[in-house]
Amino acid sequence: MAGLVKAFGSGAMTNSLDDIVKADVMLVIGSNTTENHPIVALEMKRAVYDFKAKLIVIDPRKIRLTEYTDMWLSQKPGTDVAVLNGLMNVIIEEGLEDKDFINKRTEDYEELKKTVIKYTPEKVENVSGIPADSLRKAARLFAAAKNGAIFYCMGITQHTTGTNNVLSIANLAMLTGNIGRPGAGVNPLRGQNNVQGACDMGALPGCVSGYQNVCDLGIIEKCKDIWGAKLPEKGGLSVTEMTDAVLRGEVKAMYIMGENPMLSDPDLNHVKEAFEKLDFLVVQDIFLTETAELADVVLPGVSFAEKDGTFTNTERRVQIVRRAIAPVGNSRPDWLIISDLAKVMGYEMNYETVGEITNEIASITPTYGGITFERVSKESVQWPCPDATHPGTPILHAEKFTRGLGKFHAVEYKPPAEETDKEYPFVLTTGRLLYHYHTGTMTRHSMGLDEVCREARVEINPEDAKKLNIKDDDWVELISRRGKVEIKACVAPRVPKGTVFVPFHFKEAPVNMLTNSALDPVSKIPELKVCAVRVERA
């Protein structure tokens, strides 16, 4: 998100799901769409079959989406900047860039050009393993599109160069003039049902709802009026920085609502050590998760089906969530728990209904200004929606970018924080499976889904497996500099040689024991997609 803010001024999916079928060419990079966003994938497949769109898939693994195209480029994990610079190199060398768009709507193009010109397809082939000719073909295809849409997900962001990867994607979209039209755009697919909303609402160290910087005088004034409280002046810590602050003894207590860092965060041994060091840990969740087991107080919240409110989906669409059943047992909706806690601590949080909170959000958040509870009960609305009469915004940056001109950023390829060596010769990359979701708190408790997919298996290329004498369902040990995990093998041609893939849903094989907590310096995202491991027969 940080990357898109720098380039465009706003960090969200630029286009709508509805207009995927209007794309002539779709470029999907670092998104296993059929498994992680199945309904988005339906639209992509529809674009290919019903509307004859072309699809380019750039992913180390031969994911299922590759079955719908003959243009699959398999890059070595962590080489995305090189690949994207390579695509742009071909486009510029062959004069296929959108000069009009570059002149009228962007700045700093010359700097981009200077950098990109060094990334010849042959040089990129050496770094990424993608044949120079394939790269050329893909570049020409994308540049020729009337409407070219780019989709990406955590395969792009979960790197120490995540922000640079996103900047490169923004560069490519601007270079080809694919911004502000139906069927084009830069489309980060948000992984969790309300991750867009959680960001929008200011569950971020740097900003209050609507990405209003905590240091901004306007928002400080507004919070004083509406909250009756002074905003803290000092900057805050991001989730991955919190762990280190705990270990340094600076953070003594944590309040965790609906998250399970003991399975989702990198380098779990490190995380566990931190949680055990806390003086006080409060966890609010629907199950006794691995994190809740370490808590001093556990507060039972409720699931999506037991509460009212709103969620914001990946295309910035705010939609109504309706209570279907009463809270299970003595559990309570999270909003009630927080307001009760605030009251006992001497701060008046008196909301009779969820709608009152929705309307307070509208009053304090310009992008949600027209999204009242009454309105969203009747229709879904895509932000920005500044007032009651505004219809919402299906496509961002149509006339001009949020920041005015789109900004090119010249970025150089940097290798991942940890590279393979003799001792740890495999690249480990992590991800998700169709039948499970995040740390499995919900899906591992859904009997049908868990029966379909009961256990974690490490995907290993047949040639590597043969060398190591590993067969399907053999137990193996994966060992990194940080830990060791025992797991069954799945001999899978879909992973390239030298790479192994493990989903992170399973507490029985917590792959984040192995991952590297090295962060992207800007977005603070850990490099979950690349670390070095050794594979041994158990």
Partner 1 sequence: MAKINLVINDRKIETEPGKTILEVAGENRIKIPTLCHDPRLKPYGACRVCLVEVEGARTFLPACATEVIDGMVVKTNTVPLYEIRRTIVELLLSDHELSCVTCESAGQCQLQDLAYELGIEENRFEGEKHTYTIEDYNPLIERDLNKCISCGRCVRICEEVQQNSIYTFANRGFDAIVTTPYDRSLIETKCELCGQCVSTCPTGALTEKMSRYKGRIWEIEKVKTICPYCGCGCELEIQIKNGEIVRVSTDVESGINKGNACAKGRFGYDFVNHPNRLTSPLVRKNGELVETSWDEAIKTVADKFSKIKKKHGSDAIAGLSSAKCTNEENYLMQKFMRAVIGTNNIDHCARL
Report yes or no: 75 and 83 within 8 Å, Cβ to Cβ: yes
Residue from the set 111, 117, 126, 245 that interacts with partner 1 by CB under 8 A: 245
Residue from the set 232, 350, 378, 421 that interacts with partner 1 by CB under 8 A: 232
384 is an interface residue for partner 1 by CB under 8 A: no
Length of the chain: 538
Q: How far is the CB of 47 from partner 1 (least distance, A)?
A: 11
Report yes or no: 504 and 487 within 8 Å, Cβ to Cβ: no
Size of the site for partner 1 (CB under 8 A): 148
- DSSP state string for 125-155: HHHH---HHHHHHHHHHHHH-SSEEEEE-HH
Q: Which residues within the stretch 406-435 sit at the binding site for partner 1 (CB under 8 A)?
A: 434-435
Looking at beta carbons, which pairs linking 291-295 to residues 24 or more positions away fall under 8 Å?
291/256, 291/259, 291/260, 291/261, 291/262, 291/263, 293/262, 294/262, 295/256
Helix (H) or strand (E) holding 225: helix 217-227
Report yes or no: 148 and 142 within 8 Å, Cβ to Cβ: yes
341 is an interface residue for partner 1 by CB under 8 A: yes
Which one of the spans 86-94, 122-130, 198-206, 456-464 is the region binding partner 1 (CB under 8 A)? 198-206
Task: Collect all residues with Cβ–Cβ distance below 8 Å to 192 and sequence separation of at least 6.
Answer: 198, 438
Report yes or no: 56 and 215 within 8 Å, Cβ to Cβ: no
For residues 148 and 83, what is the distance between their CA atoms, to the nearest angstrom?
Answer: 17
Residue 114 vs 445, nearer CB to partner 1: 445
* Terminal Cα-to-Cα distance of the chain (whole angstroms): 40
The residue ranges of DSSP E strands in 266-343, in sequence order, are 280-285, 297-300, 309-312, 317-321
165 is an interface residue for partner 1 by CB under 8 A: no
Residue from the set 31, 85, 196, 516 that interacts with partner 1 by CB under 8 A: 196
What is the per-residue binding string for partner 1 in 459-498, x denoting contact by CB under 8 A? ----------------------------------------
What is the per-residue binding string for partner 1 in 290-329, x denoting contact by CB under 8 A? --xx-xxxxxxx-xxxxxxxxxxxxx-xxxxxxxxxx-xx
What is the per-residue binding string for partner 1 in 35-74, x denoting contact by CB under 8 A? -xxxxx-x--xx--x------------------x------
| Cis bond before residue 503 (omega within 30° of 0) | no
Q: What SS3 class is residue 284?
A: strand
Q: What single-letter amino acid sits at 348?
A: E
201 is an interface residue for partner 1 by CB under 8 A: yes
448 is an interface residue for partner 1 by CB under 8 A: yes
Residue from the set 256, 385, 411, 514 that interacts with partner 1 by CB under 8 A: 256
393 is an interface residue for partner 1 by CB under 8 A: no
374 is an interface residue for partner 1 by CB under 8 A: no
Residue 51 vs 347, nearer CB to partner 1: 347
Q: How far is CA 222 from the centre of its chain?
A: 30
Residue 297 vs 388, nearer CB to partner 1: 297
What is the per-residue binding string for partner 1 in 265-284, x denoting contact by CB under 8 A? x-------------xx-x--
Which one of the spans 133-141, 256-264, 387-395, 482-490 is the region binding partner 1 (CB under 8 A)? 256-264
20 is an interface residue for partner 1 by CB under 8 A: no
257 is an interface residue for partner 1 by CB under 8 A: yes
286 is an interface residue for partner 1 by CB under 8 A: yes
For residues 2 and 459, what is the distance between their CA atoms, to the nearest angstrom?
Answer: 32
What is the per-residue binding string for partner 1 in 112-151, x denoting contact by CB under 8 A? ----------------------------------------
In terms of Cα–Cα distance, which of 172, 1, 36, 63 is closest to 501? 63
Residue from the set 148, 183, 392, 526 that interacts with partner 1 by CB under 8 A: 526
Residue from the set 147, 331, 420, 499 that interacts with partner 1 by CB under 8 A: 331
332 is an interface residue for partner 1 by CB under 8 A: yes
Cα 425 to Cα 15, 415, 499, 534: the distances in Å are: 40, 16, 9, 6
Which one of the spans 133-141, 457-465, 481-489, 520-528 is the region binding partner 1 (CB under 8 A)? 520-528
DSSP 432: -
Report yes or no: 267 and 295 within 8 Å, Cβ to Cβ: no
